[in-house]
Amino acid sequence: MPVRTAVIPAAGLGTRFLPATKVVPKELLPVFDTPSLQHTVDEAIGAGIDHIILVSNRAKPAIEAFADKASGGARITVVYQDAPRGLGHAVEITRELVGDAPFAVLLPDELMGDSSHLQDLVREHEATGQTAIGVKRVPRSEVSAYGCITPQGVPDANGRVGVRDVVEKPNAVDAPSDLVIIGRYVFSRHIFGYLASLKPAAGGELQLSDAIGAYARKGGVTGVLISCTRHDTGTPMGMLTASIDAALKRSNVGPQLRTWLEGRLQ
Ligand code: G1P
């Protein structure tokens, strides 16, 4: 079945980016000259998505205003997650809107240079029916910031690897590997069954990674290594590098910026 729907969870309050997020939600902070969320919407559209479900929070009315004005041509529906009950809960509340078709999830904290990685995940799902998740090798010291997979062997020549289990934010010493989840997923509808049977973790949160882990233990999940550029805009450094990268690609400022950076660094 083709993948036409994407869920973008955007309900967090962005406290890491205060004071910038006092009035403007973090997803609408500009990455160069474009709201960060528009980059995510464009990435989804570039992978064939025509319906986007934005999971927001009533404390962020600007997200709804953005949905009315977003460019690109996809239909955007806004739903609300009013309590911070975790990423698993944010996905679970979209169940009726998503229906039975497979769907993508894009975490807007991660900005990709283009749609190629999501296209890869869509292709993998369409060819195999497996849930496909984006993974990346990182230094061991960084695994504790991510969901980490237990791989089945090593990735093949096409960057595919079976996923046997997932653990959310392990200590570096306990981590099952150095392959982490980078916030891009293509799920079959079965994920909703696994989400429904989750027990809330500490603080009442439902972890998406726990549902993926349960699904992986049944053999339904494949990891796909990312090959495009990626910026973690959940951190100030990632915001900066994403803006510089976006500006370098523009013909109106790219060449001048390159010259300025080269001079500045001498
Ligand atoms: C979330 C997921 C985690 C994933 C990460 C990617 O964590 O829970 O599994 O590796 O996104 O950015 P968060 O960054 O929201 O804490």
In the chain, what are the domain boundaries?
5-250
pLDDT at 94 > cutoff 90: yes
In the CATH scheme, what is the code of domain 5-250? 3.90.550.10
Helices (H) and strands (E) in the chain, counts: 9, 13
The pLDDT-based confidence of 183 (bands split at 50, 70, 90) is: very high
pLDDT tens across 32-83, in order? 999 999 999 999 999 999 999 999 999 999 999 999 988 888 999 999 998 8
**Percentage of the chain with pLDDT > 90?**
85
Confirm if 54 and 75 have CB atoms less than 8 A apart: no
Cα 88 to Cα 75: distance, rounded to the nearest angstrom: 23
pLDDT at position 58:
93
Burial (CB count <10 Å: 0-12, 13-18, 19+), residue 263: exposed
Which of 15, 107, 168, 198 best tests ligand 1's pocket when mutated (most atoms within 8 Å of CB)?
Answer: 107
Claim: this prediction has a pTM higher than 0.75? yes
pLDDT at position 235:
87
Nearest to 110 by CA among 9, 178, 248: 9
Distance 183 CA to ligand 1 centre (A): 6
Residue identified by tokens 């027990």 is: 199
* C-alpha separations of 222 from 162, 185, 234 in Å: 5, 10, 25
Q: Where does the chain show beta strands of DSSP type E?
A: 5-9, 30-31, 34-35, 51-56, 75-80, 103-106, 110-112, 131-137, 147-152, 160-168, 179-187, 221-225, 230-232
pLDDT at position 240:
94
* Ligand 1 closest atom vs CA 183: 6
